[in-house]
Amino acid sequence: MIYNNKTGGGNVALFLVNILSEADMEMHQHSMPDLFMQLGLESSDDNIREFVKTHSGLVVGTALHEAFFWSPSQAAFLRQAIDEDADWAELVDQLDAMLRA
């Protein structure tokens, strides 16, 4: 929103106010199925559970993006999400924890 504030002497100040509504913030939130879709994987709850079951037991000391089962593009996405603390970082961390359980 832009507000005009006229003060004595005709000075005009423009204030640009960026207000994010709750709805705007929710647009940037992702879900685990969204992450799986982004990675090009099946994204139903059953598919996610099966993926985690199949790939769980990630070795301590191995970064998530270094796991043998990722394609190069998937690995790059996961690494970038964490390195840049992107919108996806929290979900990538959750996936990491799920695969280490």
The CATH number linked to 37 is: 1.10.10.1130
| 8 falls within a domain | no
Top-confidence residue, 82 or 25: 82
Q: Which phi and psi (to 5°) does residue 70 adopt?
A: -90, 145
Query: CA 58 → CA 24, 72, 80, distances in Å?
Result: 36, 18, 19
How far apart CA 57 and CA 82 sit, in angstroms, is 20
Q: pLDDT tens-digit profile of 8-62?
A: 444 333 333 333 333 344 456 899 999 999 999 999 999 999 999 999 999 989 9
| 86 falls within a domain | yes
Domain region containing 41? 30-100
| 4 falls within a domain | no
User: Inter-axis angle of helices 89-100 and 72-83, to 10 degrees?
Assistant: 120
| 5 falls within a domain | no
Domains in the chain: how many in total?
1
| 62 falls within a domain | yes
Cα end-to-end distance, the chain, whole Å? 47
- 63 Cβ contact list (under 8 Å, min separation 6): 79
